[in-house]
Amino acid sequence: MQHFGSELKIKAICTVAATVTQKGFDRIIDEVHADPLAALQQFPFIGPITCFHLAKNLGVPVAKPDRHLSRLAECCGYSDNQTFCSTIAQFTGDPIDVVDIVLWRFATISAADYLGFALMARGSRS
């Protein structure tokens, strides 16, 4: 408790350990390889959004559906950020996770009006 400060987090860690013990590490790995997003959501505190973040950290080629990427995707005419980041990745040759982090950093650190910038860039292509 002194290091985590949350009884729920301690219980979650114990639940994950029990699940891995029950199923076996190899089976968990197989599940993650077969369907990473669904497999990761079996664990406590990993939901339909955080599973993308964890999957990305584990090397799965996905973009996190955070608000900045979702707004940028919509602003640029895409219905979802996975397609948006995948399209950019195909064009640049960079991995999707690299596209994800570059766009996120741009939106959160570099540009106060990142949507205005995206709209301006989109308008200049017309």
- Are 31 and 77 in the same domain? no
Task: Please state the pTM of the whole predicted model.
Answer: 0.76
Q: Which residues contact 61 (CB under 8 A, 6 or more apart)?
A: 95, 96, 97
Q: What is the pLDDT along the chain (126 residues), one digit of tens a residue?
A: 788 888 999 999 999 999 999 999 999 999 999 999 999 999 999 999 999 999 999 999 999 888 888 888 888 889 999 999 999 999 999 999 999 999 988 888 765 666 666 666 666 554
- Does a structural domain hold residue 31? yes
- Does a structural domain hold residue 1? no
Distance CA 115, CA 107 (A): 8
Give the single-character DSSP code of 79: S
Q: Which residue range forms the structural domain that includes residue 34?
A: 7-57
